[in-house]
C-alpha cells in the first residue's frame, strides 16, 4: 500500500467513529493542520523523484479534495443536528389550553350602533354626534317646540337647573340643529346617542339610545324617506321582504309626520320580523318643518328633506331576542357573555352584520 492509501484508510477508520463537532475538528487538524498528514505529504513533494512527481501530486490533490469534502459534509450534518436540537426545545405547543382569562364582549347596543352606521354609510350618511347635556333651546325651541307646547311634557324631561335652561337631551334631534348651524347644506347624517327621560319599566329606561337621521338637499321628498327606511329595515333585520306602513302622526319638528310600523308574527314563541299580521311601531319620522330650517338659517324654499328617530335599544331587543330592556344597563357579566359579540367581528356590509 502506498503512503496515500495508508492515509486514506486511517482517515476512513477515524472518520467513521466520529461523534461530535470537536472530534471532527481534531481529525481535521490531524490531517490538515500545520504538521498534519496531508500537509506533510505536500511538504514532501519536492523530494519525490521528478518523473513520479506529477502523478503523485495529482493523487495527493484528489485525496485532499475527497477528505475535505467528507469533512465539510460531516460538519454540515452536525450543524443541522444542532439546529434541530435547539428547535425541539423551542417548540411551541399550540395544543396547550389557553389560560383562563375572561375575554371581553361587545354590548348588543354597541353592536347595533356599529351595524346601523355600517348600513347607512353605504348610502352616503355620515355619523354626527352631540353632547348629552343640552340647552333647552336646541332640544325644544329650535325644533319648533315652544315653551308651553304639550310635546314638552310628553318627554318627561330631566332638567339640570331650576330655570330649565339646561337639560339632559330627551332625543337626538338637537343634533339636527347643531349640525345645520355649523355646516352648510346639503346634510346627510345619522346620529346615534344616549337620550334621557324620566321613565322606567320593562320597556323604558331613564337612559336609552336613539338614532336620528337627517337628509336635507334640493328636491328631497317623502318617497326618499320611504326608500331609505325600507332599505335600512331590510338590511338591519337581514330579510328580503318587509311589510311596512306609515301612520299619520305628529311631531312639532316635522310636517307631515308619520310613525312607521313593521309587520311581524310570533312563531314557536319567537318573533319573526317582516311578515305576519301584527304591527310593531319602530320609529317616528317626517319632512323637516320649515320653521326648523328657518331657525338654522336654511332657506326652506330651496332646501327640504326628511328626518327620522328610532330607539336603538328596541331594535337590539327585536333583532337579538332580548325581552327586558333593563338588563342592558345592569352590567351583569353573565348576561353580556350570553348576548355580547366578539370584539373582532366588526359588522360590515360586505362581510355580514351579525354573523
Ligand atoms: N325625536 C322624536 C322622538 O324622540 C323622533 C323623531 C325624530 C320624529 C325625527 C321625527 C323626526 O320621539
The protein residue whose alpha carbon is closest to atom 5 in ligand 1 is 309
How many Cβ atoms sit within 10 Å of the Cβ of residue 212?
23
C-alpha cell read off for 170:
330627551
Label residues 237-258 b or e (16+ Cβ within 10 Å = b): beeeebbbebeeeebbbbeebb
Q: Which pLDDT score is estimated for 171? A: 96
User: What's the CA-to-centroid distance between 156 and ligand 1, angstroms?
Assistant: 15
Q: Does the pLDDT of residue 199 top 90, yes or no?
A: no
Which helix or strand (DSSP H or E) is residue 132 part of? Answer: none
pLDDT for residue 115 is more than 90: yes
Residue 102, pLDDT > 80, answer no
Cβ neighbours, 10 Å, residue 299: 11
Closest among 113, 125, 300, 134 to 214, alpha carbons compared: 125
- 79 CA to centre of ligand 1 in angstroms: 75
Decide if pLDDT at 327 tops 60.
yes
Q: Which residues line ligand 1 (CB under 6 A)?
A: 171, 173, 212, 251, 254, 284-286, 307-309
Q: Does residue 324 surpass a pLDDT of 80?
A: yes
Confidence grade of residue 133 (pLDDT, cut at 50, 70, 90): very high
Taking every pair of Cα atoms in the chain, the longest distance, rounded to a whole number of angstroms, is: 130
* 304, 307, 313, 315, best to mutate for ligand 1 pocket (most atoms within 8 Å of CB): 307
- The b-or-e profile of 102-111 (16+ CB within 10 A means b, else e) is eeebbbbbbb
Res. 97 pLDDT band, cuts 50 70 90: confident
Closest CA to 107 of 348, 351, 284, 322: 322
Query: Torsion angle of alpha carbons 258, 131, 295, 189, nearest 10°?
Result: -60
**Residue listed under C-alpha cell 332599505:** 231
Q: In this predicted model, what pLDDT tens digit does every residue of 31-48 receive, in sequence order? A: 999 999 999 999 988 888
Question: For residues 305 and 138, what is the distance between their CA atoms, to the nearest angstrom?
Answer: 19
What percentage of the chain reaches a pLDDT higher than 70? 97
The ligand 1 atom nearest the CA atom of 257: 10
Atom of ligand 1 nearest to the CA of 170: 4
For residue 175, how far is its CA from the centre of ligand 1 (angstroms)? 12
| pLDDT at 101 (0 to 100) | 67
Q: How confident is the model at residue 227 (pLDDT cuts 50, 70, 90)?
A: very high
Q: Whose CA is nearest to atom 2 of ligand 1?
A: 309
Query: Do you know the residue count of the chain?
Result: 355
Distance CA 254, CA 251 (A): 6
User: Is-above-0.75 flag for pTM?
Assistant: no
Q: What 8-state DSSP symbol labels residue 94?
A: T
Query: Omega before 256 cis (within 30°)?
Result: yes
pLDDT in tens, 63-82: 999 999 999 999 999 999 98
Q: Give the pairing of strands 126-127 and 187-196.
A: parallel
- The residue written with cell numbers 328610532 in the block is 310
Q: pLDDT band at residue 350, thresholds of 50, 70 and 90?
A: low
pLDDT-above-90 percentage for the chain = 64
* CA dist., res. 167 & res. 177, Å (int): 16
Q: What share of the chain is helix, strand, coil (3-state, %, to 5)?
A: 45, 25, 35
Closest ligand 1 atom to Cα of 288: 11
pLDDT at 136: 95
pLDDT recorded at residue 207: 93
Shortest-distance Cα residue to atom 4 of ligand 1? 171
Q: Residue 29 CA to chain centroid, in angstroms? A: 63
| Shortest-distance Cα residue to atom 7 of ligand 1 | 309
Pocket residue to mutate for ligand 1, from 138, 150, 171, 191, most atoms within 8 A of Cβ: 171
> What is the predicted pLDDT for the residue at 1?
55
Amino acid at each position: 500500500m502506498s503512503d496515500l492509501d495508508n492515509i486514506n484508510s486511517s482517515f476512513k477508520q477515524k472518520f467513521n467513529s466520529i461523534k461530535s463537532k470537536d472530534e471532527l475538528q481534531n481529525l481535521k487538524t490531524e490531517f490538515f493542520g500545520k504538521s498534519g498528514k496531508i500537509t506533510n505529504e505536500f511538504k514532501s513533494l519536492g523530494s519525490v523523484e521528478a518523473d513520479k512527481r506529477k502523478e503523485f501530486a495529482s493523487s495527493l490533490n484528489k485525496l485532499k479534495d475527497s477528505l475535505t469534502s467528507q469533512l465539510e459534509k460531516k460538519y454540515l450534518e452536525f450543524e443541522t443536528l444542532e439546529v434541530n436540537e435547539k428547535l425541539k426545545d423551542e417548540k411551541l405547543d399550540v395544543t396547550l389550553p389557553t389560560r383562563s382569562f375572561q375575554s371581553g364582549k361587545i354590548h348588543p347596543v354597541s353592536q347595533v350602533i356599529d351595524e346601523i352606521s355600517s348600513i347607512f354609510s353605504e348610502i352616503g350618511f355620515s355619523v354626527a354626534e352631540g353632547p348629552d347635556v343640552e340647552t333647552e333651546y336646541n332640544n325644544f325651541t329650535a325644533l319648533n317646540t315652544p315653551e308651553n307646547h304639550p310635546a314638552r311634557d310628553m318627554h318627561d324631561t330631566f332638567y339640570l337647573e331650576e330655570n330649565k335652561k339646561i337639560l339632559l337631551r330627551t332625543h337626538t334631534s338637537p343634533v339636527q340643529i347643531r349640525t345645520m348651524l355649523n355646516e352648510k347644506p346639503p346634510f346627510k347624517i345619522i346620529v346615534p346617542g344616549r337620550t334621557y327621560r324620566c321613565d322606567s319599566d320593562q320597556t323604558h329606561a331613564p337612559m336609552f339610545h336613539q338614532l336620528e337621521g337627517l337628509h336635507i338637499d334640493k328636491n328631497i321628498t317623502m318617497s326618499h324617506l320611504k326608500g331609505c327606511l325600507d332599505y335600512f329595515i331590510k338590511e338591519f333585520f337581514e330579510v328580503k321582504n318587509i311589510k311596512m306602513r306609515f301612520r299619520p302622526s305628529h311631531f312639532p319638528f316635522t310636517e307631515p309626520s308619520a310613525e312607521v310600523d313593521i309587520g311581524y308574527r310570533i312563531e314557536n314563541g319567537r318573533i319573526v320580523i317582516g311578515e305576519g299580521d301584527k304591527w310593531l311601531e319602530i320609529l317616528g319620522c317626517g319632512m323637516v318643518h320649515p320653521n326648523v330650517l328657518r331657525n338654522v338659517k336654511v332657506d326652506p324654499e330651496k332646501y327640504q328633506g326628511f328626518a327620522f328617530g328610532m330607539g336603538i335599544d328596541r331594535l337590539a331587543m327585536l333583532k337579538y331576542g332580548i325581552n327586558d330592556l333593563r338588563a342592558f344597563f345592569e352590567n351583569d357579566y353573565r348576561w353580556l357573555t350570553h348576548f355580547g359579540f366578539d370584539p373582532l367581528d366588526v359588522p360590515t356590509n360586505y362581510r355580514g352584520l351579525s354573523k
